[in-house]
Structure 1
Amino acid sequence: MLVFVLLVLCLIYIFYQDLRYRAVYWWTFPLLLTLILIALFNTDGFDGWLEGTLLNLAFLALQLLVVMLYFSLKEHRLVNITQGYLGLGDVLFLFCAACYLSPLVFFAFYLVSLVFCMVVAFLLWLKSSEGVNRIPLAGLQAVFLALCLLLGRFCELPDWVNDRNLQLLFF
């Protein structure tokens, strides 16, 4: 339970930093990854962990490659997407989430959290007279993951790190 609380607090801290400063301290991501690995160890989530993580990281790499190619073609030069388009903290957060969530859950989390971020960014844009210059993607996805974990814990939803439990809901 302590690791779960620390994990949620770490996610909320990432949200706070990204929202307040539009940056996250680098040491927060190794801390998050350490808490994730401890949580997985405590819940026997290591069963099939390596295969799932590699699949998630391949999906993430493909997404980042597509984004890089899109902006490179648009600007007629090779573009590093972590300079001006996507923050390094955003990529590091997604790496941590890919190490924690099962492949089906990671894919669903990735899609739904991006929709969540777009809705929040749109609401911020409506509220602001200057417009939204930068979206705190890692922070919004972190708070979304924290909400999902809390819902999963208190509403007794299936395990987030095991696709077998998730498949029972749909098949």
Structure 2
Amino acid sequence: MPFLFIAFVISLLFIFWQDVKFRHIHIVLPVITFISAYFLSGWHFKILKITVINLLFLVVTLGVLVLYMSGKKKQLLNPFTNYFGLGDLLFYIAITPLFLLHQYILFFVLSMIFAIVAQKIFRKYIQHNSVPLAGLSALLLLIFVIKDIMIPYQKITLIRW
């Protein structure tokens, strides 16, 4: 259990660092995050069901985004070219075992708001125009996980410690 937790924390820190510095993340990091999150949450059928439900939410959300942007531009658009990075998608897939659906939706929305606010605050220190969504979301998740470990009352994540 401690090894998995350390791998999870290190993967989140590397996602944060790589996305903020380079605006992309290595494919191995979301894989490590997903595997460690799945086992830290309790690797049984219930977690698999939660993961699938959260994935369905993510698919529906991206589907609505594609339909909205395509309707606005009057042509079918690829959401990964201008609106959403592949690393962002992989990160949000990787954290699906960590939350019940309503908590996943809450984290999804809060992480987007957190990323936009952080981008505005640190605008002069960041050279890129794009928002490092996966990196800043990883930082917020790390804050939530630390909160859940230190103050287990009203946990946000499903991590069992």
| TM-score when normalising by structure 2 | 0.87
1:161 aligned onto 2:161:
no
CA–CA distance in structure 1, aligned partners of residues 80 and 39 of structure 2: 29
Is the 1:18–1:139 Cα contact (8 Å) retained in structure 2?
yes
Q: Which runs of 5+ in 2 are unaligned?
A: none
Shift of 1:31: 1.6
Alignment counterpart, residue 60 of structure 1, candidates 58, 61, 78: 58
Counterpart residue type for residue 9 of structure 1: I
Q: Of the two, which has the highest radius of gyration?
A: 1
Alignment counterpart, residue 48 of structure 2, candidates 47, 50, 54: 50
Question: What is the 5 A alignment of 1:6-155?
Answer: 6-40=7-41, 44=42, 46=44, 48-125=46-123, 127=124, 133-155=129-151
Distance change >3 Å, CA 113–CA 123, structure 1 → 2: same
Partner residue in 2 for 1:168: none
Is the 1:105–1:161 Cα contact (8 Å) retained in structure 2?
no
Q: Which runs of 5+ in 1 are unaligned?
A: 163-171
Distance change >3 Å, CA 25–CA 70, structure 1 → 2: same
| TM-score when normalising by structure 1 | 0.83
Number of matched pairs: 157
Is the 2:19–2:25 Cα contact (8 Å) retained in structure 1?
yes
Partner residue in 2 for 1:169: none
- Cα-Cα RMSD: 2.0
Partner residue in 1 for 2:5: 4
